Homo-oligomer: A and B are copies of this chain.
Amino acid sequence: MPTTTGTREPRKLTDKGQATRARILEHAAELIYANGVHATNNDRLRRAAGVSGSQINHYFPTKESLVLAVIAWQAERVLAFHRGERFAGFDDLEAFRAWTDHYVAYERAYQEGCSLGSLASEIIKTDLDVHDELAGAFDQWRAIFRDGLQRMQDQRRLSAAADPTRLANLLLAAFQGGMLLAQVAQEITPLRDALQTAVDHVQTFATSPDADVSPRAP
Contacts and interface: CB of A to CB of B under 8 A. Distances in A.
Interface string A204-218: 100000000000101
Q: Give the dominant DSSP class at A's interface.
A: helix
A173 B181 CA distance: 7
A89 to B, nearest CB: 21
A35 B179 CA distance: 23
A12 interface: no
A38 B177 CA distance: 22
B170 A197 contact: yes
A174 B170 contact: yes
B125 A118 contact: yes
A156 interface: no
Interface string A107-138: 00000110001101110111100010011001
